[in-house]
Amino acid sequence: MYVVVVYDVEESRVAKVCKYLRRFLHWVQNSAFEGELTEAQLERVKIGLQKLIDKDHDSVYVYVVPRKELISRDVLGQTKSLSGPVIE
């Protein structure tokens, strides 16, 4: 499945969340990641994020699409270089 994760977390946690998500997904924009994950990997990502964020102050949105081909993306302005994930 194709997953898009966007987040808004307090500054003290931004680097930790970013570093964690880079292990699984491609960084496409500040606070935005996307890529292919299995159901097990997605659950692992969600559990890890729940441990990193403060649920009273932070928010993370996870969008799941069955197939990447169903997504159409238009980039306005500069395209950030995609960083590849390091899946364990």
pLDDT digits (tens, 9 = 90+) for 28-87: 988 999 999 999 999 999 999 999 999 999 999 999 998 888 888 888 887 766 556 655
DSSP 3-state of 57: coil
- Which one, of 28, 34, 37, 30, lies nearest residue 1 by Cα? 37
C-beta separation of 26 from 81 below 8 A: no
**pLDDT of 88 strictly over 60:** no
- Residues 57, 16: Cα–Cα separation, whole Å: 15
State if pTM tops 0.95.
no
Q: 2-66 belongs to which CATH class?
A: alpha beta
Residue tagged 């570093």 (tokens): 19
- Which one, of 23, 19, 20, lies nearest residue 87 by Cα? 23
